[in-house]
Chains A and B, each alone.
Chain A
């Protein structure tokens, strides 16, 4: 099920393995809960703060400016090409902190597990969480587990909350986009949404489309060091690029022009979107960040992004304007201009 070549022991430790699936009693607070937490979570996520084994975590921060965020993950399917719900939950919260201009440090993790969820799958999710926090260099400092009756949940839900220290001398906010600024994205759009959709619908394409889920903190470390003048950072997750840019246009009271011929979209993702009737502009991403900054800063930031594996396809895709505040427009590949509206509800598969 894993696509990321993560190597780990696929076997659950005893005595967890005595149960091949999660039981109500695993959330009941008794011996089974204790075993599950000890064997499944504690040992895997262990670090100095977690080992205090307190009701909460005592944290030491050096900066006065703290960023704080939370996110819940309820995805179906939980395993998909390029990742699973575990790393998604970690990376999502890390990226939200990065978008605040912060260095992510600590996260909490809470599981709501449906009774009967296979222990082996939980183990895989936990391993992927471990891999994600280790590679991002953050610590899981507190957590929670609940089990709900069969049919009252959908396999597993994960909530993560994150805390980070804001980089000094930067001021990032959705209200900060200024006319003349350019918009950079760190690579191809729509990979995650199409990976999920093609998996959910059982559609097989010639090449497997993988989710782009990734923690972007290391890539952005380099950018924050180079450039203090970033105005806006956002990760275009649900609702895709179009919805995020519409929010920015409204918050900053500016116009936005996107250039269709500059938008990076993988060939196979474009093909899948054509078949499914989706517009890549509205499809979710999980490893992308939009950077809005003054034009004179763009080249050095692009250079820095392109050095990193998650930024090698970075491109300037648009510009902030002072015309039509609140509206996003697209310069199409044939040279015309049209509106890019915010998504209404969810994208629905078309008939023909």
Chain B
């Protein structure tokens, strides 16, 4: 914990808050991309410390939240089949599909295994040769390499009863989608530190220049986040448009090259629907032809599933930073973590869940 506690240091936090306050003269709207950052902001209630001129809005970087309803429904269908074991990240279990969720299917006898490391799922497949084992792969560039490695291992070990329902998405296209929207109000970005650990941050230079926004690679602890905010405010106040790295203890410009090569080898970019947001060009990862044997979508011919989204939910607006969770009519009454209408109320990285958990359910006094 030594290397984490240093970044939760009260004195450092106070110094950074002072630097931010002293350097911020204008109102600015900054988006933190990653749900992990949103969670940290709410958990440490950084809003209490920041000057009211800074409006932090929460981005789409919650893998659970943006996984399209079609994929949730496909996973639910697969988990309901007697011949299939579905392996899922725990976070996906309560995400509402059109009719039900994975937790309810499990309660009805569906064989769903929660896993931490994707390689565990290969072992499940080997141990159950009479079953088809499907790994429900969601997440951004952070989780995709581990899934890629698992598929590659399955191919090498010739594990025929293993496949992947692949719903991976990419961060930079989502940032472009937000910035190019006519209703965009984001003036600066805190880029997602963990994604950059894998991908580096070279991809952000063209985005920063094209849309004239500073982008600062930012970590997840209170000191990291305040450092990211400070650098972003500094750039904004000086009208500087560039990419900076406030998470250099983990992130390099080039990123993790072997992981990137692995992604390139197994996946190709494809247009992908984001839940609540819509289709974003070239924002999804699709398995390349050489790996179609492991593509659950093809093996089980899942194209034709119809979906039905709850219409009280403003998840899409929240995920694009257009509304705050507590601005939703359903927040804390119709929609709670026990009975979520939308995915952001479920996931530990979802903005609605973070607001509910750390600010209370009765319309919290966070900055709006």
Of the candidates B194, B336, B338, which one forms a contact with A352 in the assembled complex, judged by CB atoms under 8 Å apart?
A: B194
Chain A residues with CB below 8 A from B64, complex form? 351
B1, A351: Cβ atoms under 8 Å?
no
How long is the Cα–Cα vector from A337 to B49 in the complex, in angstroms? 10
Residue in chain A with minimal CB distance to B46: A336
A296 at the interface (CB under 8 A from B): no
B337, A344: Cβ atoms under 8 Å?
yes
Residue in chain B with minimal CB distance to A277: B348
Kindly supply a per-residue 1/0 record for chain B positions 133-148, scoring 1 wherever the CB is within 8 Å of any chain A CB and 0 otherwise: 0000011101100000
Q: Can you name 11 extra interface pairs (CB under 8 A) apart from A276-B116, A341-B361, A348-B114?
A: A334-B13, A335-B13, A336-B44, A336-B45, A339-B357, A339-B358, A345-B94, A345-B337, A349-B89, A349-B114, A350-B349
A327 at the interface (CB under 8 A from B): yes
A345, B349: Cβ atoms under 8 Å?
no
A333, B10: Cβ atoms under 8 Å?
yes
How long is the Cα–Cα vector from A333 to B358 in the complex, in angstroms? 15
How distant is A204 from chain B, measured CB to nearest CB, in Å? 13
How long is the Cα–Cα vector from A29 to B338 in the complex, in angstroms? 44
How distant is B241 from chain A, measured CB to nearest CB, in Å? 29
List the 8 closest A-B pairs by CB distance, nearest first: A344-B337, A349-B90, A348-B90, A336-B45, A338-B45, A334-B13, A351-B89, A336-B48
How long is the Cα–Cα vector from A345 to B43 in the complex, in angstroms? 19
Kindly supply a per-residue 1/0 record for chain A positions 318-338, scoring 1 wherever the CB is within 8 Å of any chain B CB and 0 otherwise: 000000000100001111111
B residues neighboring A (CB under 8 Å): 1, 4, 8-10, 13-14, 36, 42-46, 48-49, 63-64, 89-94, 103, 114, 116, 138-140, 142-143, 194, 222, 336-338, 347-349, 356-361, 364
Chain B residues with CB below 8 A from A334, complex form? 8-10, 13, 44, 49, 222
Complex interface residues of chain A between 253 and 278 (CB less than 8 A to chain B): 267, 270-271, 274, 276-277
Of the candidates B43, B45, B90, B94, which one forms a contact with A350 in the assembled complex, judged by CB atoms under 8 Å apart?
A: B90
Chain A residues with CB below 8 A from B8, complex form? 333-334
Chain A residues with CB below 8 A from B142, complex form? 352
A206 at the interface (CB under 8 A from B): no
Chain A residues with CB below 8 A from B336, complex form? 344
Chain B residues with CB below 8 A from A345, complex form? 94, 103, 337-338
Known pairs A271-B1, A334-B13, A338-B45; A349 contacts B116 (CB<8 A): yes
How long is the Cα–Cα vector from A203 to B120 in the complex, in angstroms? 12
A201 at the interface (CB under 8 A from B): yes
How long is the Cα–Cα vector from A344 to B349 in the complex, in angstroms? 15
Can you list 26 A-B contacts with CB-CB less than 8 angstroms, sorted by A residue number?
A: A267-B1, A270-B1, A274-B1, A274-B4, A276-B116, A334-B222, A335-B10, A335-B13, A336-B48, A337-B48, A338-B42, A339-B364, A341-B356, A344-B337, A345-B103, A348-B90, A348-B91, A348-B93, A348-B114, A349-B90, A350-B91, A350-B349, A351-B91, A351-B347, A352-B140, A352-B143
Chain B residues with CB below 8 A from A352, complex form? 36, 63, 139-140, 142-143, 194
Residue in chain B with minimal CB distance to A324: B360
How distant is A347 from chain B, measured CB to nearest CB, in Å? 8
How long is the Cα–Cα vector from A332 to B358 in the complex, in angstroms? 12
Of the candidates A201, A332, A333, which one forms a contact with B116 in the assembled complex, judged by CB atoms under 8 Å apart?
A: A201
Interface centre among B14, B44, B140 (most CB of A within 10 A): B44
How long is the Cα–Cα vector from A203 to B94 in the complex, in angstroms? 24
How distant is B56 from chain A, measured CB to nearest CB, in Å? 14
B357, A341: Cβ atoms under 8 Å?
yes
B94, A348: Cβ atoms under 8 Å?
yes
B360, A327: Cβ atoms under 8 Å?
yes
SS of A interface (majority): loop
Known pairs A333-B8, A348-B114, A350-B348; A338 contacts B13 (CB<8 A): no
How long is the Cα–Cα vector from A267 to B1 in the complex, in angstroms? 7
A332, B91: Cβ atoms under 8 Å?
no
A351, B143: Cβ atoms under 8 Å?
yes
A335, B359: Cβ atoms under 8 Å?
no
Residue in chain B with minimal CB distance to A279: B43
How long is the Cα–Cα vector from A277 to B220 in the complex, in angstroms? 13
Chain A residues with CB below 8 A from B48, complex form? 336-337
Of the candidates B91, B114, B359, which one forms a contact with A339 in the assembled complex, judged by CB atoms under 8 Å apart?
A: B359
How distant is B263 from chain A, measured CB to nearest CB, in Å? 15
How long is the Cα–Cα vector from A236 to B357 in the complex, in angstroms? 19
How long is the Cα–Cα vector from A351 to B39 in the complex, in angstroms? 14
Chain B residues with CB below 8 A from A277, complex form? 348
Residue in chain A with minimal CB distance to B195: A352
Chain A residues with CB below 8 A from B4, complex form? 274
How long is the Cα–Cα vector from A350 to B90 in the complex, in angstroms? 6
How distant is A77 from chain B, measured CB to nearest CB, in Å? 16
How long is the Cα–Cα vector from A336 to B42 in the complex, in angstroms? 10
How long is the Cα–Cα vector from A348 to B92 in the complex, in angstroms? 9
Chain B residues with CB below 8 A from A341, complex form? 356-358, 360-361
How long is the Cα–Cα vector from A42 to B359 in the complex, in angstroms? 54
Kindly supply a per-residue 1/0 record for chain A positions 174-192, scoring 1 wherever the CB is within 8 Å of any chain B CB and 0 otherwise: 0000000000000000000
Residue in chain A with minimal CB distance to B48: A336
How distant is B344 from chain A, measured CB to nearest CB, in Å? 14
How long is the Cα–Cα vector from A270 to B9 in the complex, in angstroms? 16
Chain B residues with CB below 8 A from A338, complex form? 42-45, 358-359
How long is the Cα–Cα vector from A146 to B360 in the complex, in angstroms? 45
How long is the Cα–Cα vector from A207 to B356 in the complex, in angstroms? 35
Chain B residues with CB below 8 A from A335, complex form? 10, 13-14
How long is the Cα–Cα vector from A248 to B93 in the complex, in angstroms? 30
Of the candidates A203, A276, A332, A351, which one forms a contact with B349 in the assembled complex, judged by CB atoms under 8 Å apart?
A: A351
B348, A348: Cβ atoms under 8 Å?
yes
B90, A336: Cβ atoms under 8 Å?
no
Chain A residues with CB below 8 A from B349, complex form? 350-351
Residue in chain B with minimal CB distance to A352: B142
How long is the Cα–Cα vector from A168 to B222 in the complex, in angstroms? 49
Interface centre among A333, A335, A352 (most CB of B within 10 A): A352
